[in-house]
Amino acid sequence: MTATLTHTHHAPSNADDSVVAWVETIAELTQPEKIVWCDGSEQERQRMLDDSVEAGTLIRLNPAKRPNSYLARSHPSDVARVESRTFICSESEDDAGPTNNWAPPAEMRATLDGLLEGAMRGRTMYVVPFSMGPVGSPLARLGVQVTDSPYVVISTGTMTRMGADALAQIGPDTEWVPAVHSVGAPLQPGEEDVAWPCNDTKYIVHYPESREIWSYGSAYGGNAILAKKAFALRIASMIGEEEGWLAAHMLLVKVTNPRGRSFHVAAGFPSACGKTNFAMLRPSLPGWKVETIGDDIAWMAPGPDGRLRAINPEAGFFGVAPGTGYSTNPTAVEMLASNTIFTNVALTDDGDVWWEGLTGEPPAHLTDWQGRDWTPDSESPAAHPNARFTVAADQCHAIADTWDDPAGVPIDAIIFGGRRATNVPLVAQARDWEHGVYMGATLASERTAAAEGTLGELRRDPFAMLPFSGTHMADHWQHWLNVGEQLNQSAGAPQIFQVNWFRRGEDGRFLWPGFSENSRVLAWITERVEGRVDAEDSTFGLVPKDDSIDWAAAGVSPEDWEALFEIDSAAVGAEAEDADDFLESMGPKVPAAVVRQHSEFRSRL
């Protein structure tokens, strides 16, 4: 037991016994060379950044161009979430539902024990306590991740409230989520490390009953920064279903109209479908202001006043770099001017970063995301399509001063959206909460580079949660219906909407200019919430009447405006049939209300 003594020796004196005991168990299994408890201090972060530069995991960018910023290049096999390797291992397969991978928990534990035995040999195991949500907020939750990846520690330091303050919140009776992470690349004595250690075998595993997370083989994003998708969406959706609140893959914004009235809006779009852009929207509409609260995850709970209150459980942004430029998201470009970790973007010859869409003209020469020479004639993109930036929320100039209010903000509108070249109109309002839940349940979107799979392929992504629900998807829908029952319409319960910025004309071009012009749609949404504008009933829901959106000012032609709402009965009918199959595939738990809404949709066609 000498190993155990060495391990506990370095635990902070206030660390709860439950945390210390768990850390020891994992250390005995994974056999790290040493254990470091992270305190979340600036000095600690700087030391880890310096060590990572030394180790070759990070490249320090030119401080004159990009102060205190770094580039990481992942292994080419470790560039995105791996949905095919993500498991919900509930005792009963039915609790994971038809959309999740499942394996019997005992079997999975044996597999992972085998893989993790000695997996941290020759490496440091970092103990990373964190709070999702402002430390001490009634809506916040605690977790502790152990990891052998310094990159993951640094990232978690940006994405969460990490360190001593979070650890101090954990007492003998505190619930906290244990998360084990290893890149799965033990080092033999004297063996030299690589820049991005990982393993071809990958597992991202969740045990609902014990609320544990185990991740092996990847150091990338949601696979490895377990506070994010694994905890704040998958585990949180399990906890939320028990406790009566919602974990949502949604951005949060505060919108203020020219009359000075503010609204809070949550919007759920699938991965790489524009949440960060919308969260940092710079309105083209004069007099309107949009401020950022979150860009990826919202936790929303009904309050005693019958309103839905939301927090952003994160403390930073892990956003898609390609497509982020002055013309699309100037707020993000400014936010990334310093103090940022970039992953899989290109390096310029003067030590700065570049990616497709940052500027109109690419530089004449770059080093691509795999470290190879690149010129505008190169066949492949300079940045990986899922290249990302990691940056603290307070780097964003548009951050709302209430973004970290421990009480959260009251939600006035909820929006669902996806990438849809056809069928789905620019905007539609749900007739009521039940109709809104139907919109969320049948959401579909074209695949992006944020996960493995065929780009552009249309797939159902209910509530933008397909890869992130920790429970049976149909139970998730029922839960949304139940939460709706807790809300009070006359007290200002949220109205639900659906948007689509991605509809294309026959010539393939986007019919809607998007980005800053999305403010016109957002303004209409708030005006509907206020009851200031009339709407027209349609197959999809309530759509703008007359010219209540000034589309001409957005540069849209009358023909394109019409095409944005056009209903091709044959195509929409085929989609409704596909929805039949989809609902069928979800099994007998599909709520009656969703089935009712679907037949209502069909009869309106």
Assign 412 to helix, strand or coil: coil
Report the partner that residue 228 touches, choosing among Mn ion, ligand GTP, ligand SPV, none (CB closer than 5 to 8 A by kind): ligand SPV
Q: Residue 464: which residues within 8 A CB-CB, separation 6 or more?
A: 249, 250, 268, 269, 270, 271, 273, 416, 418, 443, 445
384: Cβ contacts below 8 Å, ≥ 6 apart? 79, 344, 345, 369, 449
Among ligand GTP, ligand SPV, Mn ion, none, what binds residue 479 when CB lies within 5 to 8 Å by partner kind?
A: none
Tokens of 553: 């000012």
Task: Quote the least distance from Cβ 391 to ligand SPV, whole Å.
Answer: 14
38, 89, 198, 273: the active-site residue: 273
The structure tokens listed for 403 are 């973004």
DSSP string computed for 24-87: HHHHHHH--SEEEE----HHHHHHHHHHHHHHTSEEE--TTTSTT-EEE---TT-SSB-GGGEE
* 295 binds ligand GTP, rule: CB under 6 A: yes
Distance CA 542, CA 48 (A): 53
Give the shortest CB-400-to-ligand SPV separation in angstroms: 20
328 binds, among Mn ion, ligand SPV, ligand GTP, none (CB under 5 to 8 A by kind): ligand GTP
The reply on whether position 296 binds Mn ion by CB under 5 A is yes
| Residue closer to Mn ion (CB basis): 296 or 314 | 296
Stretch near ligand GTP under the rule CB under 6 A, chosen from 161-169, 409-417, 511-519, 525-533: 511-519
Distance between start and end Cα atoms, the chain? 71
212 binds Mn ion (CB under 5 A): no
| Contacts with ligand SPV, 253-272, as mask; x by CB under 6 A | ------------------x-
Q: Specify the amino acid at residue 559.
A: E
* In the complex, least distance from residue 134 CB atom to Mn ion, rounded to whole angstroms: 21
Sole binder of ligand GTP in the list 122, 256, 514, 604 (CB under 6 A): 514
User: Minimum distance between the CB of residue 352 and ligand GTP, rounded to whole angstroms?
Assistant: 20
- Closer to ligand SPV by Cβ: residue 139 or 297: 297
Q: Is 410 in the site for ligand SPV (CB under 6 A)?
A: no
Residue pair 74/87 in contact by the 8 Å Cβ criterion: no
Phi, psi at 22, each rounded to 5°: -65, -45
Report the distance separating Cα 308 and Cα 266, nearest Å. 11
Q: Which letter does DSSP use for residue 186 in this model? A: -
**Contacts (CB under 5 A) with Mn ion, residues 244-273:** 271
**Which CB, 52 or 277, lies closer to ligand GTP?**
277
Is residue 269 within the footprint of ligand GTP (CB under 6 A)? Answer: yes
Please, what is the Cα angle at 123 between 223 and 9, to 5 degrees? 110
**Residue 381 contact among Mn ion, ligand SPV, ligand GTP, none, beta carbon within 5 to 8 Å by kind:** none
565 near ligand GTP (CB under 6 A): no
Place of tokens 């799965």: 184
Site for ligand GTP in 304-363 (CB under 6 A): 319-320, 323, 328
What are the start-end ranges of the E strands in 515-564? 535-537, 542-544
Q: How far apart are CA 200 and CA 185, in angstroms?
A: 10
In angstroms, how far apart are the furthest CA atoms of the chain? 77
Q: How far is the CB of 375 from ligand SPV (least distance, A)?
A: 29
Give which of ligand GTP, Mn ion, ligand SPV, none residue 518 binds (C-beta under 5 to 8 Å, depending on kind): ligand GTP
Q: Which residues contact 147 (CB under 8 A, 6 or more apart)?
A: 125, 126, 128, 153, 156, 181, 182, 224
| Residue-level length of the chain | 605
- 457 burial (CB, 10 Å; 0-12 / 13-18 / 19+) is exposed
CB-CB neighbours of 156 under 10 Å: 31
Residues contacting 141, CB < 8 A, separation 6+:
131, 132, 133, 175, 176, 177, 231, 236, 239, 313
CB of 223 to Mn ion, least distance (A): 13
Nearest to Mn ion of 271, 478 (CB atom): 271
- Closest contact distance (angstroms) between CB of 599 and ligand GTP is 31
Min. distance of Cβ 229 from ligand SPV in angstroms? Answer: 5
Strand 413-417 and strand 495-499: the pairing is: parallel
296 touching ligand SPV, by CB under 6 A? yes
Selected from 318, 438, 501, 540, the binder of ligand SPV by CB under 6 A is 318
Half-sphere exposure at residue 531, Cβ-oriented, CA atoms within 13 angstroms: 3
For the beta sheet containing 316-320, the strands, ordered from the edge strand earlier in sequence to the opposite edge, are 58-60, 70-72, 341-343, 388-392, 316-320
- Number of H helices and number of E strands within the chain? 17, 31
Provide the minimum distance between the beta carbon of 298 and ligand SPV in the complex, in angstroms, as a whole number: 13
Binding characters for ligand SPV, 76-115, by CB under 6 A (x = yes): -----x----------------------------------
Judged by CB under 6 A, the chain residues 425 through 444 that form the site for ligand GTP are none
Partner from ligand SPV, ligand GTP, Mn ion, none contacting 527, C-beta within 5 to 8 A by type:
none
Q: Which of 208, 274, 484, 541 binds ligand GTP (CB under 6 A)?
A: 274
Stretch 198-237: interaction string toward ligand SPV, x if CB under 6 A:
-----------------------xx-----xx--------
Q: Tell me, yes or no, if 273 is annotated catalytic.
A: yes
Which residue spans within 269-422 are E strands per DSSP?
A: 289-294, 298-302, 308-311, 316-320, 341-343, 346-348, 353-354, 366-367, 373-374, 388-392, 409-410, 413-417
Query: Which partner in ligand GTP, Mn ion, ligand SPV, none is near 582 (CB below 5 to 8 A by kind)?
Result: none
- Candidates 265-273, 284-292, 396-404, 523-531 — which segment interacts with ligand GTP by CB under 6 A? 265-273
Closest residue to ligand GTP: CB criterion: 514
Residues that bind Mn ion (CB under 5 A): 271, 296
Residues that bind ligand GTP (CB under 6 A): 269, 271-277, 295-296, 319-320, 323, 328, 450, 501-502, 510, 514-515, 518
Which residues have a catalytic role annotated? Answer: 273
Residues that bind ligand SPV (CB under 6 A): 81, 221-222, 228-229, 271, 296, 318, 450
